[in-house]
Amino acid sequence: MEIMFLETDLARVTVLLLGAGPDSRTARRLRAGGATVSVDVEAGQPPGVVVVVGDREPWAAALERITEVHGPLPVAVTDPERTGVTLVGGGPGADDLITTRGLSAVADADVILLDRLAPQGVAESQAPHAQIIRVGKWPGHHPVPQEQIQSILLNSAQEGRHVVRLKGGDPYVFGRGGEEVADCESWGVPVDVVPGITSSVAVPGAAGIPVTFRDVARTFTVASGHVPFTEAELRGFCALLETGATLVVLMGVATLPQLVSGLVRHGANATTPIAVVEKGFSADQRVHTSILETAVIDLAGAGSPAVTVIGPVAALAAEDRERVLGELTPHRAIAPRTLEPADPDPTPSTASTTTTETHPHMDTTPTQADGPLTGRTVAVTAHRRAEDQMGALQRKGATTIAAPALKLVPVDQDADVVTETRQMLAAHPDLMVVTTGYGFKRWWDVVEASGQADGVHAMLAAADIWVRGPKGRAAVRGIGLHDVGISPDETIGPLVDQILEAYDHDLTGAVIGWQENGYHDREQRARLVGAGAAVHTVVPHRWADADDAGMIPRVIRQVCAREIDAVTFTSAAGADAVLSTASEMGLEDQFVAAFTTPDGSSAGVGTHTVVAATVGPVTAAPLQVAGIPALVPQRFRMGAMINQLAEVLGSSETAG
């Protein structure tokens, strides 16, 4: 039986060790636990406990003598000390997800070769007596090459020591366990393999994603994404996805754009759900969700290590998990709700009867009965992804009104973009500023269609590319390039600050390319010109009026009358358009006042003010300048905006 000594405080305990020497691994383990170790059977000082390593039988006479001299003593018997190599799968990283057999092997090690994704605390807590060698790798950096790792492993084992190779996940799932076992066997070194919980299953599970699901996903495939996939592999993945199978990709953050674009190119359904679970089982675990069509931009903020899941089950990590579960399991049992007693007098009171005016743009779809936004009315000013936003709000209980302020449309003639691009090529920019992922992709589409792709790609490759946010970064990476810097808060001002600081506020003679985002930020471009730069712009899209049904004036009047609880904004240009319309109607002061309490603060618990919810600080800026205290989520995303709005309105006592 293996004794886990380190679970017991052995301070001031004298241990008589039989079957192993004073410098043995067991002696070192006992001393690491605080014990005083003796191997002298004839010592006059009585031991507190006797530990026998290996077979107890040869020590029977000595134990009998000790009992005669010192009286009955507790005797623990532990297995013989191991030699050779043990490959231990440490699981998905959490210290408590390694197996009992794995813990035992670690505690009985002389040398531990520790991987970056292995449970770090296990080695230090269970084997303070061992030599710990950190051999972790991370993308693009292998400080200890695999050949050197195997050399350390084999040489240490041949010296008669027990070497543990502690890995993340399972040794045989992209852990190079097969290579290491083969080397040990060829050198005649005893080797054992302890399986581990593979992150390909466990990490998706930490985000609520089962890799298989009855009647939905009967199979799953695990792939390594540390190098780009071949065309044959991409075609194979598409065939699997067509059956509803789940594709799990490990080590695939850097190659994710290539995988996603390749799947779509080979015919995968563009609406296939995808989730990236970053730093699973850690305090910093984050889950990013999207669909293949927009994944390159939506998932740009994901970092390594991460596990990517593609297939129907990936939708279970999204904010509307309950709806997805309902679709995947239409037959599941639903716990009955406690019903309120029926009204004994169902006749409606004429005093309380109201008539609600309906409009084609007011969504009357039944909402979630007990969501945090139940009883609330929210006006949505977005045009792009408006349906997604309204659906998410409705699932939280809200009644929604579609009031698109502006829409992004291509410029009237692609020839204008071609001309601007040609001028930029001739100028040879030293720097390129990418303000939006959508705009950059729209520009690249025109560039490819006009035959300018090779020239523009070479131009960008030679320039320092600066991006406003992760979507712009993803768009740049989508064509195989990398930026040199990103705004710390996804806004243009701090990005320009970074650029100026990087070049000591002296851009004399520098040429800067600037991709406009449809909302012209002349002030920030002027700062670069003031530092000596020449700025060339390309405008791949513009904002256009999207309010064909005249809903914006109606919503403005409802806000002024406080008949709406919240208005959401997803673009600065859209916010500006709403404010301009209110001004043209002569209602700007009343409109702004509706969003503030008498003391000038934003809406909160117990107030009857309207809430302005924005997707980020760029969108909020025009509202804040006008005096409207807009909500800004910590993560500048639509889902975060909706969650923040639900938190604020859900905590209010009464509907506005």
Q: Is the pTM of this model over 0.85?
A: no
**Closest by CA position to 388, among listed 525, 306, 294:** 294
Would you say residue 550 has pLDDT above 80? no
Distance (Å, rounded) from C-alpha 427 to C-alpha 96?
59
Q: Any idea what DSSP says for residue 172?
A: T
Is residue 383 scored above 60 in pLDDT?
Answer: yes
CB 81 within 8 A of CB 20: yes
Structure tokens at 132: 């710990």
* Distance, CA of 563 to CA of 54 (rounded, Å): 81
Q: Check pLDDT > 50 for residue 654.
A: no
When mean pLDDT is compared across 39-53, 203-217, 307-321, the lowest value belongs to 39-53
pLDDT the model gives residue 579: 85
pLDDT of residue 610: 93
CB atoms within 10 A of CB 518: 23
From the candidates 115, 363, 547, 565, give the one annotated as an active-site residue: 115
Which ranges in 120-230 belong to alpha helices (H)?
120-126, 146-158, 177-186, 199-206
The single residue listed with the structure tokens 């309950």 is 322
Q: Tokens representing 505?
A: 């506020």
Distance CA 606, CA 655 (A): 9
**147 — pLDDT class (breaks 50, 70, 90):** confident
Contact in structure between 377 and 305 (CB atoms under 8 Å): no
Tens of pLDDT along 295-311?
988 888 888 899 999 99
pLDDT of residue 292: 93
Q: How confident is the model at residue 634 (pLDDT cuts 50, 70, 90)?
A: confident
CA distance 90 to 169: 6
* Cα 379 from Cα 386, distance rounded (Å): 11
| pLDDT of amino acid 618 | 78
Backbone angles phi, psi at 86, to 5 degrees: -125, 120
pLDDT band at 570 (very low <50, low <70, confident <90, very high): confident
Question: How sure is the predictor about 545, in pLDDT bands with cuts at 50, 70 and 90?
Answer: low
What's the CA gap between 328 and 275, in Å, rounded?
17
Task: Kindly give the pairing relationship between strand 611-614 and strand 464-467.
Answer: unpaired
Round to whole Å and give the CA distance between 153 and 13.
35
612 CA to centre of own chain: 27
- Residue 456 CA to residue 479 CA, distance in Å, equals 11
pLDDT of residue 356: 35
pLDDT of residue 616: 84
Please state, in angstroms and as integers, the Cα–Cα distance from residue 121 to each residue in 95, 125, 193, 360, following that order.
6, 6, 21, 60
Contact criterion met (CB below 8 Å) for 81 and 108: yes
Per the annotation, the verdict on 137 as an active-site residue is: yes
pLDDT the model gives residue 547: 55
Q: What would the pLDDT profile of 275-298 be if each residue is shown by its tens digit? A: 999 999 988 899 999 999 889 888
What whole-number distance in Å separates Cα of residue 393 and Cα of residue 154? 60
Query: pLDDT value at position 368?
Result: 47
Range name among 130-139, 191-200, 472-481, 526-535 with the lowest pLDDT average? 130-139
| Residue 223 near residue 250 (C-beta atoms within 8 A) | yes
- Of residues 537 and 9, more confidence is placed in 537
Q: Which residues contact 553 (CB under 8 A, 6 or more apart)?
A: 581, 585
Least confident of 134-138, 181-185, 241-245: 134-138
* Cα(592)–Cα(87) distance, integer angstroms: 66
What phi and psi, each to the nearest 5 degrees, are found at residue 213? -155, 125
The residue count of the chain comes to 656
Selecting among 251, 390, 432, 638, the annotated active-site residue is 251
Beta strands (DSSP E) in 79-130 are 84-89, 111-114
Beta partners for 87? 165, 193
> Backbone dihedral region of 226: left (phi > 0), alpha (psi from -120 to 50 degrees) or beta?
alpha
> How far out from the chain centre does Cα 415 lie?
40
How far apart are alpha carbons 137 and 129 in whole angstroms?
A: 24
Name the one residue in this structure whose structure tokens are 């010192």. 70
> What mean pLDDT, rounded, does the chain reach?
82
Given this model, what pLDDT does residue 302 score? 87
pLDDT above 50 (res 533): yes
Contact 359, 379 (CB under 8 A): no
Secondary structure class of 459 (helix, strand, coil): helix
Q: Find the mean pLDDT for residues 532-540.
A: 89
Rounded-to-integer distance, Cα 374 and Cα 384, Å? 25
Domains belonging to the chain, first-starting first, are 14-78 (no CATH), 84-197 (3.40.1010.10), 200-327 (3.30.950.10), 377-407+548-651 (3.40.50.10090), 415-538 (3.40.50.10090)
**Ranges of H-type helices in 366-452:** 386-395, 414-427, 437-449
Please tell me the predicted confidence (pLDDT) of residue 344.
40
List, edge to edge, every strand of the sheet that includes 220-224: 220-224, 246-250, 306-310, 273-278, 286-291
**Would you state the pLDDT for residue 259?**
95
Verify whether residue 96 is a known catalytic residue. no
Q: What burial class does residue 607 get, using C-beta atoms within 10 Å of its C-beta: 0-12 exposed, 13-18 middle, 19+ buried?
A: middle
- pLDDT of amino acid 14: 86
| Low-confidence winner among 101-105, 186-190, 348-352, 489-493 (lowest mean pLDDT) | 348-352
**pLDDT surpassing 50 at residue 341:** no
pLDDT digits (tens, 9 = 90+) for 16-64: 888 888 888 888 878 877 788 888 877 767 888 888 888 888 888 888 8
Proportion of the chain above pLDDT 90, given as a percent:
36
Question: Rg of the Cα trace of the chain?
Answer: 33
Q: Which pair of tokens denotes residue 468?
A: 């406003």
Residue 226: pLDDT band with limits 50, 70, 90: confident
- The pLDDT confidence band at residue 111, using thresholds 50, 70 and 90, is very high
Q: What is the DSSP string of 182-209?
A: HHHHHTT--EEEE----HHHHHHHHTT-
Q: Tell me the pLDDT band of 70, cut-offs 50, 70 and 90.
A: confident
Query: Is there a contact between 271 and 260 (Cβ–Cβ < 8 Å)?
Result: no
Q: Which residues contact 73 (CB under 8 A, 6 or more apart)?
A: 46, 47, 48, 49, 50, 66, 67
Angle at 425 between CA 419 and CA 427, to 5 degrees: 105
Residue 308 confidence (pLDDT)? 97
Least confident interval from 351-360, 492-501, 502-511, 588-597: 351-360
- Confidence at 543, pLDDT banded by 50, 70, 90: low
